[in-house]
Structure 1
Amino acid sequence: MQVPLELSFTGIDTSDSIKALVQEKVDHLETLFDRITSCHVYIRAPHRSQRQGNLYEITVEVRVPGDELVVHHRQNDAAAHQHLPVAVRHAFAAMEREVKRWKDKAGGDVKVHDGPLQGRIVEIRHDEGFGRIAANDGRLVYFHRNSVVDGRFEDLAPRDTVDLVVQSEESEIGPQASTVRPVGALKYDPEAR
């Protein structure tokens, strides 16, 4: 993690054994996904139930690139949550499911979309119907003549700037663009206002 674990106790005294248990659970989360940036754990004993005594609430906040996962675990007067270690284990089991779900959804790759992906054509084979684009995210992306929209494949040349959409699954030849759209050069027109 980039930021050390933050652990907060409210309404109860701090405990070295609980601190160790929380650290063990955080370490386990990091084995599931090694790009967790921070983890905050809040342990509260907010009220006493007339039926069962002190019921602990555990909140676990895990930050991953581009997202925050939060589990607020309170078992609605579950008797097991009278025991702090059990409540901690239940909260981290729920967070483990969240991390796995997020990782599956993200495919293990963090996708940050600040705008359309752009690049420059570095190779074009008009006679064979394909080319390659150096994308601004550092990838070399293959494209076929059929992926060109809003323009003609024959009009493209090396160093032309294009917007592109890369297929989510890589082909045998690496990343491949499903859509390539030429971007015209900007021109200054002093008369336009």
Structure 2
Amino acid sequence: MQVPLEIVYRGVDKTNALESLIREKVSKLERVCDHIISCHVAVEQTHEHPSAGSPYRVRINLTVPPGHELAVDKSPDQGTQYKPPEALIRDAFEAAQRQLTELVDRQQQKVKQHPDQSAGGIITQLFASEGYGFLKTFSGQEVYFHKNSVLHDDFDRLTVGTGVRFLISEGESGPQASTLQVVDKPGERAGKGDQAEDTAATPPLGWQ
């Protein structure tokens, strides 16, 4: 993960058990998608009257290149059975994993269906002084790129973890990226507003 995991507690005591559970669930998300940029988790007590429904709420916000934001908001409605925070955390991460799995499947399928069209990936190695680097596509392929292939003179904006869009062509030494465009830079999207429960933000034009 490019941005350190952020966990906040509001009106809920931070315990080793809750912290360990959240970190365990985040690790499972990273096994589904190894290029998550950031993850924000909030565990909150929204009221002090269990008769009005569970007093707890769990929110998860993920950012995934090249510009996707996934959000989950779990808080049982009024009249539902009281749930402790541990149960809500598990429910929220199950929903987040479903969203993330669907997104990764769509990205990989798009690459398979349109191998000659614009692809997406993240920067994995950067040799700034030499003017080149390597990126990894969402299907796991490592691809070389040169400074001259980066659009809008954005080579200096690149860091490891930056989400990019590009074309792949066959060079003398193997595949290489051309017309590389910065789509999402680590940290630039972290901390944005919450989304509705179990919904994913609309990806940029050309990504589905």
What range is the shorter-chain TM-score in?
0.5 to 0.7
Q: How far does the alpha carbon of each residue in 1:33-89 deviate from its partner, in whole angstroms, 9 at most, with x for none? A: 1111110001111113352665210000111012111101112143242x1110100
Q: How does 1:41-190 map to 2 (within 5 A)?
A: 41-49=41-49, 51=51, 54-65=54-65, 66-77=67-78, 78-81=80-83, 83-107=84-108, 111=120, 136=149, 137=166, 139-140=168-169
Coordinate RMSD, CA, aligned: 2.4
Letter aligned with residue 120 of structure 2: K
Larger gyration radius, structure 1 or structure 2: 1
- Cα distance in 2 between the residues matched to 1:86 and 1:20: 14
Could you tell me how far apart the structure 1 residues matched to 2:82 and 2:92 are? 12
Cα contact 2:61–2:71 (8 A) shared by 1:
yes
Greater RCO, 1 or 2 (C-alpha within 8 Å, sep 6+): 2
Report if the CA contact (8 A) 1:60-1:72 is conserved.
yes
Displacement, 1:18? 0.2
Task: Write the deviation string for residues 137-156 of structure 1: whole angstroms up to 9, x where unpaired.
Answer: 46226xxxxxxxxxxxxxxx
One-letter code of the match for 1:48? E
Partner of 2:7: helix, strand, or coil? strand
Do the aligned partners of 2:61 and 2:70 also contact (CA within 8 Å) in 1? yes
Structure 1 residue aligned with 2:3: 3
CA gap 1:80/1:102 in 2 versus in 1, 3 angstroms:
farther
How far off is 1:25 after superposition?
0.2
Q: What is the SS of the residue equivalent to 1:79?
A: coil
Question: Structure 1: which 5+ residue stretches go unaligned?
Answer: 113-135, 142-162, 164-193
Q: Is the 8 A contact 1:80 1:87 kept in 2?
A: no
The residue identity in structure 1 corresponding to 2:36 is I
Q: Is the 8 A contact 2:54 2:82 kept in 1?
A: no
TM-score by length of 1: 0.55
Contact 1:52 1:79 in 2 (8 A): no
Q: Structure 1 residues 60 and 140, CA, compared in 2 at 3 Å: closer, same or farther?
A: same
Q: Which runs of 5+ in 2 are unaligned?
A: 112-118, 122-148, 150-165, 171-178, 180-208
Q: Deviations over 1:105-140 (max 9, x none)?
A: 22276638xxxxxxxxxxxxxxxxxxxxxxx54622
2 CA distance for matches of 1:102 and 1:51?
A: 37
Q: Normalising by structure 2, report the TM-score.
A: 0.51
For 1:51, what is the secondary structure of its paired residue?
helix
